[in-house]
């Protein structure tokens, strides 16, 4: 502590943050992350003129790349701000096991005037440490590279010896040390699903029938449509074990798909639950549906259509940054060790380019959604003045578009007939060739003009119909009794929230009915500042 005091101004209060990380391999260490956080926070609190202002924690993330390390990247960007003065880390390997990333980080520490304290070394980083720490980073990177090669090599040998890798929880199976055993109770359900599907039942019907039977997935929830589809497509159910589908490339830091020709296929490598015949028949049906098109729209329909696509958030495309004008992105992720869900909205400019280009606060998904539901609940309960506004808006719409389109259509047909008759008049010598050319150009110009006007009016008519429909939807919503804000559906939000703009001091919400509302940012801002073990436990309990 005395050495720290010597290097700092004892009359100044220093704003301090910490960075903590455990990798995928370290997830097995019980409470490894909690101990790391507790060590760092306790140390910071012991310093007389240090104030803990934030914590950056990556769980189950490798240090060999910065990709996917949300908190590391947030720290790297926040170094461009005045949010803190000192960063505390356990050691260099916690920060980076990649030489390039290490030097990038150290360079930003120096250029932005931040201080980096290394807990295990009990000292601040100085320029004299650059060489030795660079060597440490290279050694850590080489260790990770060598470990990756050994793991891949060992996995390949195990595959060749018939060891079954894969998801430890596949419905219908129990994972053993080197293979899978059939869970007979669940296997009965798998066989039933296959039988229903080849008999012509769709996934929605199968989902309903399973729910009515009281049969649920391994998580205790209703089987999703995508889960049922994956069940039908899983080759393990017919006893085929396919190993080596993916391979981790240490150099690119990506898990890459292995070509089918290089995968290991083992017939009867796992106990079959359904026959190969019924599996092939079910998958033929899926393939057939995938190439069936809707003849009226040209769109695909069947098993590859929208029921299996992830549902879009009710606020997608509606939240915008009040600083740079760009949209906010929904960016959910789940921490691997403690399974804490981080479900947030953040400025797309900030996420893409960093704090130098735009810095706006992050918004918690559930909190903003609850505030929006409350706003629509208020509109539903105070609907009289809004209905008057809607009536005025509806009356202002041009209801004469349809008559105008009919008139233009008749005029267009009339001039087309005149143009067609010109040839007969020329052949009958009623008009001269000069008159023919002049009249033809005149009619052609008029026809082009009428076509352009007709297209414009048709577009406006379509817009009018759309506006009229939305106004009617709003009136229907206002006339429907809503007992609580929880009764406001995602569909209501999609229809009646026009725009949400995030400013420093307020969040402005505009509704389709023409009203505006303000949300206090403190009610929805993402707040995460772990100070001790009890604080982390509280967050887990809330999640």
The per-residue pLDDT for 338 is 65
The per-residue pLDDT for 219 is 75
| pLDDT score of 327 more than 90 | yes
Report the percent of the chain where pLDDT is more than 90: 21
Other Cβ atoms less than 10 A from the Cβ of 471: the count is 17
In angstroms, the CA 158 to CA 210 distance is 37
CA-nearest of 495, 462, 460 to 477 is: 495
pTM equals 0.34
Looking at residues 161-179, what average pLDDT do you find? 67
The per-residue pLDDT for 40 is 92
Q: Are 377 and 486 in contact (CB under 8 A)?
A: no
In angstroms, the CA 351 to CA 410 distance is 55
CA-nearest of 438, 411, 410 to 422 is: 438
* 2-146 against 162-308: fold identical: no
Q: Are 144 and 62 in contact (CB under 8 A)?
A: yes
pLDDT digits (tens, 9 = 90+) for 443-452: 888 888 887 7
pLDDT band per the 50, 70, 90 thresholds, residue 9 = confident
In angstroms, the CA 222 to CA 196 distance is 17
In angstroms, the CA 505 to CA 502 distance is 8
Domain map of the chain by residue range?
A: 2-146, 162-308, 316-543
Q: Are 263 and 300 in contact (CB under 8 A)?
A: no
The per-residue pLDDT for 250 is 44
In angstroms, the CA 429 to CA 425 distance is 6
* Average pLDDT across the chain, whole number: 75
Domain 2-146: CATH superfamily is Resolvase, N-terminal catalytic domain (3.40.50.1390)
Tokens of 250: 């240490």
CA-nearest of 342, 341, 358 to 350 is: 358
Range in 269-273, 313-317, 422-426, 430-434 with the lowest mean pLDDT = 422-426
Report the percent of the chain where pLDDT is more than 70: 66
CATH C-level class of 162-308: alpha beta
In angstroms, the CA 448 to CA 450 distance is 5
What is the sign of the dihedral through the CA atoms of 493, 498, 501 and 505? negative
In angstroms, the CA 328 to CA 321 distance is 6
Query: Residue 301 to residues 287, 291, 312, 384: CA-CA distances in angstroms?
Result: 12, 8, 19, 43
The per-residue pLDDT for 305 is 39
C-alpha 316: how far from chain center: 10
The per-residue pLDDT for 56 is 92
Percent helix, strand and coil across the chain, each to the nearest 5: 50, 15, 35
Angle between helices 365-381 and 433-479 (to 10 degrees): 90
pLDDT band per the 50, 70, 90 thresholds, residue 306 = very low
Give the CA count within 13 Å in the CB-facing half-sphere of 233.
11
Range in 69-83, 116-130, 179-193 with the lowest mean pLDDT = 116-130
Of 94 and 339, the one with more pLDDT = 94
pLDDT digits (tens, 9 = 90+) for 93-141: 777 656 667 778 888 888 898 999 989 888 888 766 555 555 555 555 5
Indicate the helix (H) or strand (E) that contains 71. Answer: helix 70-78
Q: How does DSSP classify residue 300?
A: B
Looking at residues 49-63, what average pLDDT do you find? 82
pLDDT band per the 50, 70, 90 thresholds, residue 455 = confident
> Would you put residue 134 in left (φ > 0), alpha (ψ -120 to 50) or beta?
alpha
Range in 339-348, 463-472, 507-516 with the lowest mean pLDDT = 463-472
Range in 71-85, 114-128, 374-388 with the lowest mean pLDDT = 374-388
pLDDT band per the 50, 70, 90 thresholds, residue 153 = low
Q: What is the 3-state secondary structure (H, E, C) of 178-224?
A: CCEEECHHHHHHHHHHHHHHHCCCCHHHHHHHHHHCCCCCCCCCCCC
In angstroms, the CA 458 to CA 220 distance is 52
| pLDDT score of 42 more than 80 | yes
Q: Are 185 and 216 in contact (CB under 8 A)?
A: no
* Integer Rg of the chain from CA: 33
Residue whose token pair is 């700092």? 8
Tokens of 127: 């320029």
The per-residue pLDDT for 336 is 62
pLDDT band per the 50, 70, 90 thresholds, residue 456 = confident
């Amino acid at each position: 502590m005395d050495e720290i005091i010597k290097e700092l101004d004892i009359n100044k209060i220093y704003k301090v943050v910490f960075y903590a990380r455990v990798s995928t391999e370290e997830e097995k260490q019980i409470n490894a992350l909690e101990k790391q956080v507790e060590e760092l926070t306790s140390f910071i609190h012991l310093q007389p003129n240090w104030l803990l202002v934030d914590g950056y924690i990556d769980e189950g993330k490798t240090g060999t790349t910065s990709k996917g390390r949300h908190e590391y990247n947030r720290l790297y960007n926040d170094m461009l701000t005045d949010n803190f003065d000192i960063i505390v880390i356990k050691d260099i390997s916690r920060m980076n096991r990649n030489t390039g990333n290490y030097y990038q980080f150290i360079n930003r520490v120096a250029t932005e005037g931040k201080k980096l304290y290394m807990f295990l070394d009990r000292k601040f980083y100085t320029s004299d440490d650059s060489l030795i720490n660079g060597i440490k980073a290279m050694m850590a990177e080489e260790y990770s590279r060598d470990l990756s090669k050994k793991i891949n090599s060992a996995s390949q040998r195990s595959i060749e010896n018939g060891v079954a890798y894969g998801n430890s929880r596949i419905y219908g199976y129990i994972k053993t040390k080197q293979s899978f055993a059939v869970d007979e109770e669940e296997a009965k359900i798998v066989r039933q699903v296959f039988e229903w599907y080849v008999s012509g039942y769709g996934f929605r019907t199968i989902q309903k029938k399973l729910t009515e039977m009281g049969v649920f997935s391994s998580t205790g929830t209703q089987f999703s449509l995508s889960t049922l589809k994956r069940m039908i497509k899983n080759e393990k159910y017919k006893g085929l074990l396919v190993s080596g589908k993916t391979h981790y490339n240490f150099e690119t830091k990506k898990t890459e798909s292995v070509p089918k020709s290089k995968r290991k296929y083992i017939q009867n490598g796992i106990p079959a639950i359904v026959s190969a015949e019924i599996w092939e028949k079910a998958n033929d049906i899926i393939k057939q549906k995938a190439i069936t098109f809707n003849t009226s729209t040209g769109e695909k329909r069947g098993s590859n259509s929208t029921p299996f696509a992830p549902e879009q958030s009710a606020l997608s495309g509606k939240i915008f940054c009040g600083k740079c004008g760009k949209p906010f992105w929904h960016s959910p992720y789940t921490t691997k060790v403690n399974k804490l869900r981080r479900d947030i909205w953040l400025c797309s400019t900030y996420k893409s380019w960093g704090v130098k280009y735009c810095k706006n606060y992050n918004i918690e998904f559930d909190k903003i959604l609850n505030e929006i539901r409350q706003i629509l609940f208020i509109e539903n309960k105070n609907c009289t003045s809004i209905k008057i506004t809607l009536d005025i808006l509806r009356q202002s719409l041009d209801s004469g578009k349809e008559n105008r389109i009919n008139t233009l259509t008749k005029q267009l047909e009339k001039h087309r007939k005149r143009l067609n008759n010109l040839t007969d008049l020329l052949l009958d010598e009623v008009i001269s060739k000069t008159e023919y050319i002049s009249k033809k150009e005149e009619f052609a110009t008029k026809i082009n003009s009428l076509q352009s006007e007709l297209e414009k009016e048709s577009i406006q008519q379509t817009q009018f119909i759309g506006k009229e429909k939305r106004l009617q939807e709003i009136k229907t919503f206002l006339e429907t009794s809503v007992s609580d804000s929880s009764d406001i559906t995602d569909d209501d939000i999609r229809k009646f929230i026009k725009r949400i703009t995030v400013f420093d001091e307020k969040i402005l919400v505009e509704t389709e009915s023409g009203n505006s509302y303000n949300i206090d940012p403190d009610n929805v801002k993402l707040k995460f500042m772990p100070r001790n073990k009890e604080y982390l436990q509280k967050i887990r309990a809330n999640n």
